[in-house]
Amino acid sequence: MRKNNTWKRDFQRNKYKYLIFLPVFTYLIVFCYKPMYGAVIAFQNYRPAKGIIGSPWVGLKNFRDFFNDFYFPRILKNTLLLSTYSILWGFPIPIIFALLLNEITSTRFKRIIQTTSYLPHFISLVVVCSLIKQFAMTDGLINDIVELLGGERTPILQYPGNFRTVYVASGVWQQFGWNSIIYLAALSGIDVALYEAAQIDGASRFQRVLHVTLPGIAPTIVMLLILRVGSMLSLGSEKVLLLYNTATYSTADIIATYTYRKGLVEANFSYGTAVGLFNSVVNVIFLVLMNALSKKISNIGLF
């Protein structure tokens, strides 16, 4: 009885708050949770005409088919490699950039560099990839430079061996400035007294960077690295879809693009959903593990 009363009082006191939440609740149910329920078609042989209720259940068949799929090792390997290379290059470069930028003394020059380096982040993927495509053509800018240096003109985007380099390099170009913002914020938070003390103790500029600056931003680095590794498998399909072609599938096709082709282009809904669900579940497990690790090491976690 008393319990009932407190709930009633809570509702009475907060009725407008619940009212404000209602649109959000509706949105999340319809566009987030309903598709999660819709993912049960991964365990069915889904026929759109019959709906989820009427379609026959097939248990784990779609998952078994996926693990036995001729392309399964290839797309798993490509996803992991593309992510790994993106982290190996894309993670340290913003840190180095932030450290170097921090050594620039002219505030104006610093601001110009910052403004410029953030810009590519806002350019759409379609435009960036179109530009890459134009530059990578046999008579494009990159080949002009290659020829100038004594190389031979090649259709760059047609060779599987080039795909990862193009993907990672353009990713670094687009994001290094933007990703450095968080380190610059951490750098500006370091106590100036520490630098002064180091200077009095005779530390050189390089030693100050090594013993004051780096330890100062180390927690940020550790946390971001763990989060970045945690989301390693959730490599999005958009950029790959824009950059790859049938000639480069052997290195470019990843789980997300395979889901798109199988599920939507070939309208194999159940199979595509199973591939996507496998990816989401592995992502979440990976993220939770990394988060636990982060909490253990640095006491910082996402949730």
Partner 1 sequence: MKKTTGEKTFDVFNALFMAFVIFITLYPAYYLLCASFSDSTELLRRNGLLWWPQGFTTGAYKLTFNYPLVKTGYMNTLFILIVSLPLNLFLTICCAYVLAARNMKLKKFIIPFVMFTMFFSGGLIPSFLNVRSLGMYNSLWALIIPGSLSVYNAIIVKTAIEGIPESLSESAYIDGANDIYLLARIIIPLITPTLAVIVLYYGVGHWNSWFSAVIYLKDNTKLPIQAVLRAILIENQNIMSANDMSDGEVNRYAETIKYALIVVGTLPILVVYPFLQKYFVKGVMIGAVKG
Binder among 77, 92, 207, 238 for partner 1 (CB under 8 A): 238
Could you tell me which stretch among 57-65, 70-78, 82-90, 176-184 binds partner 1 (CB under 8 A)? 176-184
CB of 39 to partner 1, least distance (A): 5
- Give bridge partners of residue 18 from the DSSP assignment: none
Per CB under 8 A, 241 contacts partner 1: yes
Per CB under 8 A, 123 contacts partner 1: yes
Q: Which residues contact 162 (CB under 8 A, 6 or more apart)?
A: 156, 248
Among residues 163 and 269, whose Cβ is nearest to partner 1? Answer: 269
Among residues 37 and 67, whose Cβ is nearest to partner 1? Answer: 37
Per CB under 8 A, 127 contacts partner 1: yes
Chain positions 249 to 278 lying near partner 1, rule: CB under 8 A, are 256, 259-260, 263-264, 269, 272-273, 276-277
Binder among 45, 84, 154, 280 for partner 1 (CB under 8 A): 280
Chain positions 142 to 171 lying near partner 1, rule: CB under 8 A, are 144-145, 147-148
Q: Is the dihedral of CA 21, 26, 32, 36 positive or negative?
A: positive
Coil, strand, or helix at residue 44?
strand
Binder among 113, 212, 222, 293 for partner 1 (CB under 8 A): 113
Could you tell me which stretch among 67-75, 81-89, 93-101, 246-254 binds partner 1 (CB under 8 A)? 93-101
CA distance 212 to 226: 22
Q: Which residues contact 9 (CB under 8 A, 6 or more apart)?
A: none
CB count, 10 Å around CB of 213? 20
Q: Which residues contact 97 (CB under 8 A, 6 or more apart)?
A: 117, 176, 177, 180
Q: ∠ at Cα 43 (289, 260), nearest 5°? A: 75
Coil, strand, or helix at residue 150?
coil
One-letter amino acid at 176 equals F
Could you tell me which stretch among 61-69, 84-92, 197-205, 246-254 binds partner 1 (CB under 8 A)? 197-205
